[in-house]
Amino acid sequence: MAEFTMDLNDEQKEVRDWLHGFAADVIRPAAAEWDEREETPWPVIQEAAKLGIYSLDFYAQQFFDPTGLGIPMAMEELFWGDAGIALSIVGTGLAAVGVLANGTEEQIGTWIPQMYGDVNDVKVAAFCSSEPDAGSDVAAMRTRAVYDEAKDEWVLNGTKTWATNGGIANVHVVVASIDPELGSKGHASFIVPPNTPGLTQGQKFKKHGIRASHTAEVVLENVRVPGSCLLGGKDKLDERLARAREKAAKGGERVKNAAMATFEASRPAVGAMAVGTARAAYEEALEYAKTREQFGRPIIDNQGVAFQLADMRTQIDAARLLVWRASWMATTGKKFENAEGSMSKLFASETAKKVTAQAIQILGGNGFTREYPVERMHRDAAIYTIFEGTSEIQRLVIARTLSGMPIR
């Protein structure tokens, strides 16, 4: 088991510097343009694919880093460049994690490569869980999956929302309810292969931030997928549902649902994204404070500014420590006995909102304009406290874990 350490090894440092260079040289120069266009930055994704950053091999190497620091390190550097473009590059990863968390080895080998495509034909994937009436309340999910035994097919009907890459993806991973009476324990995840009839894109959302990332509804109308597209297989599903029904009357063994398994695996990574955005805003504010003069001296000479920067840096480093701890625990098989994954996501996302707001304040009127990137960073940071579990949900998870009580 790898010991927890804050010291990156030479290979990790090399990867970090490589990603930082890509973020500085390719992502940042394109950030303002694609934010204004509110379109998927395909040229940047393709450039990332050419360099090997947007690829299954790269993410697999980081995912299986024995220290657990590969993914958070990569997320921080890419999101330091720009959150919207970075999410377009890494958004496929959420669908990939959904397959890794719930799929068989055969399903992992078959579908994850198709999510990325290749250098000459770049593809993206989408993870579809949230619905118009089921965001934080996953038990309210209305999308249904019904098994057609005669044809060994699953029939999916429903509407998903807030899906990153929804409708433009090559592969969609869809969470649906098999047994509504079991609530979230009656859910399962399905692969919807490319060009499957009945899957269409609904509304594309015009967002406050991360505008270079495509977010849309996904509509499923009698979508038929082969039985082999049920992640984990039917035997495993039947066993899990039987166990859930047996435990339904009283407490007992906790059965994780498909969406939660994905989110638990990805929350520290989202925390790392938030750290990247916060760090970028802090660095902009620090440089501005050192060069901007008022009353004959740099504004950083004033305690009111200097103390803000001190707090910003302290909060960023604390957030990174929580993210790295959770990532290390997940990789080394240590249980989140105190909801450490949710802690990391909660603190890092709240830090990003606060730090980017402070950066605007330090830049004053300039910070409020689009001539400076902190305005965009502040808009982008708002999403971290919302997607993949709001801050309120993280606090609920933490409180329930610490108390053992069904806090509502």
Res 225: pLDDT: 98
Res 48: pLDDT: 98
338-395 tens-digit pLDDT: 999 999 999 999 999 999 999 999 999 999 999 999 999 999 999 999 998 899 999 9
Read off the pLDDT band of 244 (50, 70, 90): confident
Active centre residues (catalytic): 388
Model confidence at 319: pLDDT above 90: yes
Return the structure tokens found at 193: 């292969």
SS3 408: coil
More confident residue, 338 or 253: 338
| Those residues with Cβ within 8 angstroms of residue 202's Cβ, 6 or more apart along the chain or in another chain | 159, 161, 166, 167, 216, 217, 218, 219
Cα separation, 81 vs 30, in Å, equals 10
Return the structure tokens found at 142: 């209305």
Q: What per-residue string of b and e applies to 383-393 under the rule 16 or more CB within 10 Å gives b?
A: bbbbbbbbbeb
CB-CB contact of 140 with 147 (8 Å):
no
Model confidence at 404: pLDDT above 80: yes
Mean pLDDT of 155-164: 97
Share of the chain above pLDDT 90, in %: 85
H/E segment holding residue 247? helix 234-247
- Say what the pTM is: 0.93
Res 295: pLDDT: 94
More confident residue, 272 or 3: 272
77-104 tens-digit pLDDT: 999 999 999 999 999 998 998 998 899 9
Model confidence at 153: pLDDT above 80: yes
Model confidence at 154: pLDDT above 90: yes
206-239 tens-digit pLDDT: 999 999 999 999 999 999 999 999 999 999 999 9
Per-chain mean pLDDT for the chain: 94
Cα separation, 342 vs 263, in Å, equals 10
